[in-house]
Amino acid sequence: MPATTTQPWRNRSYHRRWLLEQADALFGFFQSQAFNPKGGFFDLDPTGKPLNVANPVRGIHSTARMVHCFAIGSLLGRPGSDLIVDHGMKFLWERHRDAKAGGYFWTVDDNGPRDGRKQGYGHAFVLLASSSAKLVGHPLADKMLADVTEILETRFWEEQHGAIAEEFNADWSVIAPYHGQNSNMHLTEALMAAFEATGERRYLDKAERIADLIIRRKAGENGFRVAEHFDGNWQVDKGYLGDQMFRPPGTTPGHWLEWSRLVLQLWALGGKKHAWMPDAAEALFAQSIALGWDKQKGGFFYNLDWNDKPDLRDKLWWPASEGVGAAAFLCEHRPSAFHEEWYRHIWDVIASSFIDEQNGGWHEQLTEDLKPSYTLFGGKGDIYHALQACLIPLYPATGSLTKGILAEISAK
């Protein structure tokens, strides 16, 4: 490798300090404005002010992500983080949880459920939040972790496939024979966190089965382009139109990047016994760069059609964030000039176009020309992807952020 890439940015004191400064700015941005005294958290407008103050709809994934991220803040020693964790955990338990039928509602407002569906995606984030909250000693964590684990195992898990069903109505009646990779991908992340928090191997076993289905088999059959949508028998549904924000048609390169990191993390946590995993991680990253990166203007296209052409040409913050995390893990486990150069290149685009130096936070959507846009999102509603992009490179690529922080604390 060239001399400049044999000295990774991740090992340089200035770069590490810069990453911490960016993480601290994100903590401060959301901590100062997102707290909703009526419960849960506000989404924020482009300037950082709360949206829909009177009676905002709170999505379960947003609440759970705030819990997870400020549990990380608590482990790092950021004052005020425990208050955010407590606020979010109570809202998940008292307002999102369906005390009668079981499970967790997709969205709620001040008056109760707004969308009472039980989504696998949302339950994955409840598992992540409760696992992270357990590590900081929150009193509801064990109860919620046991509750959501039971729901996932008895309602969502499909043993014949080795993955979860997508969604149910509030009364647990089936909505449609649809399977989505996104909910299973985030469950893989949450299952690893639960394994780290409890030491129970059953969580890791499920994560390995999901990865085997979606990446080794399905993505492997498709040149390591991750299909998003499947029918009831886990056959790819190329005609699925879905929802532009959560279920865009075609393929989504940002998820290839996310899986690249998660597969390497799973490989490391599982004792490096599955030889296919690092090869798959490398292939997923390479495909995302080859097909998903805009070579003229920079940034990752949001989604591609089945001819590998951009469908929605806008650039979102979360694929760039996941690109950083994937590159950091690959630089650790498969070091190369290619991975180091792309780690730097993605950060160049984030720093120049996504970070909002004037108002704080990160722009969540940019046009093809890398200008701020708000057609998909009303402002800045999520800390999760950007924060992890800033912190993942600072810790060993052997597990989740929480595990890495705890290991550093123990070493001292």
Counting every residue written for the chain, the total comes to 412
C-alpha count within 13 angstroms, C-beta hemisphere, residue 147? 20
Question: Position 381: which residue type?
Answer: G
List, in sequence order, every residue forming a beta bridge with 88; answer none if it has no partner: none
Cα dihedral 390→59→366→354 (10° resolution): -20
Which strand ranges, in their side-by-side order, compose the sheet holding 310-316? Answer: 301-304, 310-316, 365-366
Do residues 327 and 345 make contact, with C-beta atoms less than 8 angstroms apart? no
Tokens of 243: 């929802």
Tokens of 383: 């800390």
Do residues 95 and 106 make contact, with C-beta atoms less than 8 angstroms apart? no
Tokens of 404: 């890495």
Q: Residue 68: how many CB atoms within 10 A of its CB?
A: 29
Can you give the three-state secondary structure of 167-185, one letter per residue?
EECCCCCECCCCEEHHHHH
Reference 226, options 299, 279, 301, 283; nearest CA is 283
Sign of CA dihedral 314, 184, 177, 112: negative
Do residues 67 and 89 make contact, with C-beta atoms less than 8 angstroms apart? yes
Contact residues for 123 (Cβ-Cβ < 8 A; gap 6+): 103, 104, 148, 151, 152, 156, 187
- Distance of alpha carbon 262 from alpha carbon 130, whole angstroms: 19
Name the residues annotated as catalytic: 255, 385
- Give first-to-last CA distance, the chain, whole Å: 34
Q: What is the CA radius of gyration of the chain?
A: 20
- Distance of alpha carbon 306 from alpha carbon 226, whole angstroms: 11
